[in-house]
Amino acid sequence: MARDVVGDNRLLEPGEVVGDEGAILYTPDAGESWIDVGAPMPARMMNVVFLNDHTGWAVGLSGVVLKYEAK
């Protein structure tokens, strides 16, 4: 799956990106490392917000809403 970063490529710590096929990536360290927290699904994810290191919400096309909870 291809991912493109456009515009200002500097990331603030922490950060996240979303994309096609349920792609959700989270970085706790300004892009030095990435954690794949996505769900294998055909939906294109449009936005994501992490409340903290353990809980996040993502929304996608067709009304998809996902909640991430780390163990």
Is position 4 within any domain?
no
Q: Which segments within the chain are labelled E, that is strand?
A: 15-18, 24-27, 35-36, 45-50, 55-60, 65-69
pLDDT per residue as tens digits for the range 40-50: 788 888 988 88
pLDDT digits (tens, 9 = 90+) for 3-36: 444 445 555 577 888 888 888 888 888 888 888 8
Q: What is the pLDDT of residues 48-70, one digit of tens each?
A: 888 887 888 889 998 989 888 87
Parent domain of 29: 15-69
**Total domains present in the chain:** 1
Give domain status of residue 49, yes or no. Answer: yes
Contacts for 8 with CB less than 8 Å, ≥ 6 apart: none
Whether 32 is in a domain gets the answer yes
User: Is residue 6, in this structure, part of any structural domain at all?
Assistant: no
Q: Judge whether 40 lies within some domain.
A: yes
